[in-house]
Structure 1
Amino acid sequence: MPNKNSLPSAQTLRRMTYFAAIAEAGSIRGAAEQLNVSVPVVSEALSDLEDELDVTLAVRTTRKLQLTQTGVEFYAAVTEMLSAAHKALDTVAKDRPVSGKISITLPVELAAHWLPERIASFQQVHPEVAFKIEANDQVTGLKGSAFDMAVRAAYAPPGRTEPGFEQLPLIAVARTVPQICSEAGVKRVISLPFLKAYGVERIDIADADSGQVFQLISEQVIEINNRDAAIAMARKGLGFALVTRAAVAEDLAPGRLLNILPGADFGQVALRCLMRDRLPSPAAEAFRDFLTGPSPSGSPSPTRTRSRQTGRR
């Protein structure tokens, strides 16, 4: 056991950091990918730490790794120590540019029409940070992955809110203005197919003049797993799509697509930022704080709410 009156050696601190990564990832292989080192190096660090402390921190089998009760308690203490270390470093490096590489997974529409401006603004302050981006409308789990963070998008109908650091209002676009007929007082039937790309079970809309919420019904639904594909189909006149305004700005200006119900409230998409690790890299932490803070571009933006959400999903 180390002398209680002396500080841990650099080697011990490294092993403790590796142990925290193992606990976060749930496996030695996942920790190795996170730390960008080989599996044997991480495995050896765990064994050496257990020998140094004369305790068993984790039970390893060929299929899984399980922390012992001692390991759980030690992980909590190590996490607290690492968090304090990060805070201490922040006090002297608050305004210093960070470097490194950030891996992000997010929906296609956000990657194409929301993220570029934010990366450009972020790199004006932190030019040494590089990005690896996966644009995918299928949700990618963070636990055990190589991604530092995920930006998730959740649909919220009019009058309902979803937690998030930014709210992006939706508009309905099509190549032509469709006919909309009243039915049963609180329903409206639209003559165009709905290009469904948000997992929306029903379309609720608040009327632009009265504010009354009614249901918009399309007799035909085309389900699509990619929001940019829905926009491309709308350009071809195959139906209407619910999208963020930024995604179709270049189509609205020349009239390739039309906002078919200007001023109407179709709800919004709430953005959340999830981190793979409780203690992310300085670059990932800086970019998260940049996204979830005041408007990154310095220009008017959709509704923003302060949030520092983390988690492993």
Structure 2
Amino acid sequence: MLSRLIRREPWTDRKAAALLGAVASLVLLIIVLMVGFVAVRAWPAIHANGYVKWLGPGGDVDKQLGSMIATGQHPPESAYHLRAWPLVYGTLLTTGVAVIVGLVFSIFCAIFIVEFAPARLRRVVVPAVRLLAAVPSVIYGLIGILVLAPFVGNHIISLDRKASVQNVVQLDGTGVLVAIVVLTVMITPIMIAIVVDALRAIPTAWTEGASALGANRWEAIWTVSVRASRPAIVAAAVLATARALGEAVALSMVSGSRGFSPNPLDGITYIFEPIRPLAASMVENVDAMNAPAVKSSIYAFALLLLLSSFALSVGGFFAKLPMRRQGLRV
């Protein structure tokens, strides 16, 4: 038996390609079936509200979801009425700001780790960054709700500011600011790890050639290493954005958990007002999924997140195409 295993001939390239192609096709089929399944379940809510109209403003989204619970097992079309703009707005606000801030920080942090950090410090920082990227999101949410939110509510938001909006919203520390801080801390280690690997892959001769032409160290790093790593930076931003879009538990804990659209005209109060992203809304309404109208609305939220992730992947792919001629292939 052992001799038979030792003498077994290796697979041919054609056989290996066929097997790997079958596995890849299976993964693609699973994704298509998943999207189709979610789309079918979301259709009643989308059809009743209009393909795009349900994403717009209009009324209190929390009351609209709450009213769906008592509509029975065979609800009329009017029971699906929903205007999800506050949830979409909360998702765009938290994800967009967190990704922009995290991307800028991750690029400069990766440059320091690769180019300037002493070897001893690098051996400690790199594993620490990878560990932070693997920390469960609920841990960040727990720190946010027990440490950050009380600090903001008790020491940053004044009593006068709380009283000025108490008839509209309650400012207790949870809200836009804490949600963005927690989400930024969650996704930044992912981007740092990817950008660090990309900068390490840049041939030393490239930066040495720039230095030989008269560029100082920072100019060589920025114009050669960072420029060549742009495809990896785009990939890092796409992966971080996808995780931020789907983050539910942590943001449910620290965002204020209310379907409210903060108004920039409120001034500094804006960053303390509560919000609730789409993913957090799915988690918080899961107990009401026995109501068909609520279930279909939650599936509509899920479909929107799936399509957003697909758009991110496609956009990232096309964004990297012109960069691959001068940089790394990622």
TM-score higher than 0.5 here? no
Q: Which bracket does the TM-score occupy, shorter chain normalised?
A: under 0.3
TM-score by length of 2: 0.21
Q: Which has the higher helix share?
A: 2
The TM-score with structure 1 as length reference comes to 0.22
Greater relative contact order (Cα < 8 A, sep 6+): 2
The structure whose residues are more often strand, as a share, is 1
